[in-house]
Amino acid sequence: MTRLPRFLTPLVVALAVAAGCTGSSTMVVRNDAPPAHRAERVEYRPGHVYVAGHWERRGDRRWTWIPGYYERERPGFVYIEGRWRSDRGGHVWVDGQWRRREGVVIRERRRQ
């Protein structure tokens, strides 16, 4: 993989913001890809949404797994998971966010 030169990092951040790839205020740009996502055991908890864990790296330290957690549901909203996106030779973290449920139809499964 091609490494992103340090002087281009601000440009990539500006382009990512302009492209609307951020859902919140936190954005981290990395030259190296995060490790593969870890499988997590998720149990159904009524009234809660599971926010999946993710890899994080601060400074020049090694990648660290941040475990997932449960958050209370918000009526009328759906949770969009955070994710790492490849962008011009680098990787950009896009925070998860709550969005209005407008246009989203959620149907409950009926047992037969």
> What sign results for the dihedral spanned by CA atoms 22, 26, 32, 33?
negative
SS3 string of the chain?
CCCCCHHHHHHHHHHHHHCCCCCCCCEEEECCCCCCCCCCCCCCCCCEEEECCEEECCCCCCCEEECCEEEECCCCEEEECCEEEEECCEEEEECCEEEECCCCCCCCCCCC
Residue 110 lies in a domain: no
Tell me what pLDDT residue 82 has.
92
Q: Identify whether 108 is part of a domain.
A: no
Domain span at 20: 6-100
C-alpha to C-alpha distance for 43 and 41, rounded to whole angstroms: 7
Please check whether residue 53 lies inside any domain of the structure. yes
Choice between 50 and 90, residue whose per-residue pLDDT is larger:
50
Q: pTM to 2 decimals?
A: 0.61
Greater model confidence, 91 or 29: 91
pLDDT in tens, 9-61: 454 444 444 444 444 445 566 678 888 889 999 999 999 999 999 998 877 67
Residue 107 lies in a domain: no
With respect to residue 35, please indicate whether it lies within any of the assigned structural domains: yes
What total number of domains does the chain contain?
A: 1
For residue 111, being part of any structural domain is answered with no
